[in-house]
């Protein structure tokens, strides 16, 4: 299977997205969220790690387009270098579980995890 390093989620007009985080790893992990802005660039908007795991909410989308966010993860390898983690996105009811697996080969996709759900505001 090809390796996948990042996934996208979309927030439609009138909604906000809520991200919750968990980490189950001894090695340093980062999870990064980028926002696809109107200029077509991806700007960093949130980052979490092993010990900073507070929830993060997107703004309410007041535009006519879907707001797209890209989620990526990385871990520190045994040589103290940051490496991209593989990601897997699974739908669970009306939310998504986005789990990252670091390079140590156990395939659990829980080293750093976010769950994403949409809240309808208006």
Tell the smallest beta-carbon distance from residue 85 to Ca ion (Å): 8
By C-beta, is 83 or 119 nearer to Ca ion? 83
Tell the smallest beta-carbon distance from residue 87 to Ca ion (Å): 12
Q: Which positions touch Ca ion (CB under 5 A)?
A: 101, 106, 108, 111
Sign of the dihedral defined by the CA atoms of residues 22, 87, 67, 93, in that order:
negative
- The DSSP 8-state label assigned to residue 40 in this structure reads S
By C-beta, is 38 or 106 nearer to Ca ion? 106
Tell the smallest beta-carbon distance from residue 105 to Ca ion (Å): 8
By C-beta, is 25 or 118 nearer to Ca ion? 25
Quick check: helix, strand or coil at residue 37?
Answer: coil
CB-based burial of residue 33 (10 Å sphere; 0-12 exposed, 13-18 middle, 19+ buried)? buried
By C-beta, is 9 or 102 nearer to Ca ion? 102
Name which of 25, 6, 5, 45 is nearest 112 in CA terms: 25
Tell the smallest beta-carbon distance from residue 108 to Ca ion (Å): 4
CB-based burial of residue 51 (10 Å sphere; 0-12 exposed, 13-18 middle, 19+ buried)? exposed
């Amino acid at each position: 299977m090809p390796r996948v390093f990042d996934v996208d989620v979309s927030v439609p007009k009138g909604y906000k997205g809520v991200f919750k985080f968990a980490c189950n790893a001894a090695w340093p992990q980062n999870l990064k969220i980028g926002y696809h802005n109107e200029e077509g660039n991806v700007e960093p908007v949130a980052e979490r790690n092993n010990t900073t795991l507070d929830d993060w909410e997107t703004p309410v989308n007041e535009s006519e387009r879907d707001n797209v966010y890209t989620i990526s993860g990385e871990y520190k390898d045994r040589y103290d270098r940051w490496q991209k983690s593989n990601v897997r996105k699974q739908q669970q009811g009306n939310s998504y579980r986005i789990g990252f697996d670091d390079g140590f080969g156990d395939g659990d996709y829980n080293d750093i995890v976010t769950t994403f759900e949409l809240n309808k505001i208006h």
